[in-house]
Structure 1
């Protein structure tokens, strides 16, 4: 159950854990509590599949979160590393499709121990940048309070430590999984419309929170075909490269079963298909390449940089700007007393 709120809280939305955190670890202690105020949008930059996609279109931030207050809980949407498919499907469809279709944990609320472990893994160096923006403090705090107090949730248990609780907000009456497809199209998420599989990613959750609290619609940005193609190529190359270099989960594929030399290419095709057309159950390269090679295709999405008003996106009082964009970057620091144990999945 959520603890009683005595101080302001923080709601945060995040994407996939950074590869900078050397080994993915679900549970652990924070070094203290962070300094991001109630309603602040927190941003990190790191490597990994989402970093490959966003860097390819000229953007830096790869993860976005909304803070419920200094040293308090965080709401974000994220996904843990997927699992290897069972034999013999692993050799043609290396990643368990359901892990990509309904990315777990998805939308969640975690404490400082959980978010610190998400960002820093097991002894990893953490993200290359970690900052927060508030903009209008009153409006930002209103967004944080709305998500914390108004959105229904159920209490779940960590899949790693059953003694650790994780709150799961419910949108449209159900769990909100992480959906790669939201990078291709927001599917109406910024105005509360139901997306495929009820999915969100870190930045589309923040857009939803902005709208749900009556702070206005954050219009999705249209990435032209050249940028879509660049992002698709970068995603495919990044997953294949990490796999071939034995980095993280990707390097473990097929190690226990003799498959074929192209298993890393198959994994990259599967992830690219998931993002391009929400077909997460096949490694047929014709799907994502068909999207990439069709000159009429574009991506219509909301990135962490758009939430913060960076990389040419609206900021301050410009049309389409967010509550948080009228601010500079403030460094996130864990500087409160003590430490906290928690899990992020």
Structure 2
């Protein structure tokens, strides 16, 4: 590139710099393009990936461990590591209120500390270094969110020490060093880059070591979720046959209990008739199953009142089964047979039937 070409490029750059960028339509056009791209991405994810089905929320399930969404896991882990600090870790409002305010103050003061007016990234080492460490720290804490603090295994003390060092101590020391360099006008950009690079490298190495020495989590109990109406009806039928058929019969028509200790000869209302199905809505029916009817000898089946009971989702399956099988206002879908039909002369077997 000769000098004349360079002069032309510089002149054109100066003209564009003086002209500036108009909010309309230049900036708006860029925003519209980005918004459209994100919208298309969300549509594609919803169409081809979807969301994995989860069981319905059950307040009576005391074994459920609440966790935040993935984009808040780094704060969740930070609060967990902060709680390990002696004495200071017991004062949670410092981690919840004071430290976020300090972080916001740092972001607010950055333009006053690093006063360079150039936009070239090579000339803005301090803010890029600080934000780089912050982003890496967010990723690190998110990855470590499944690593518990404490534990009974022999590597637990080492794992806790590495988590505290990588998640709290090293980033804090790096921030302090970078701010001191930013206030010292004689500090070189190479020193800042070395500080940021060394910090990031240490955090990455410590994260890898922690994940390697972390014991494998126990296999989670597999939960079968009925997603289609047919699956829900079949699941409700199975649950009804286990918990209800003894008193109410196969088809819910029993009016007098027989063969049940303590309830022998007790008269009950048939639950497959219009007197029940037309007058009790789904929510009330689910509440009756969950709470029971002590005055009528019916024990509660909800987990909130019976540790060996059923979940809220399972109660809903039972209600759906009764609605679609016995309520003539609902059209029963075509259900697949639970067992394959027997051929002529075929004997049922456990492997097939």
Q: Which has the higher strand share?
A: 1
Q: State whether TM-score is above 0.5.
A: no
TM-score by length of 1: 0.18
TM-score by length of 2: 0.18
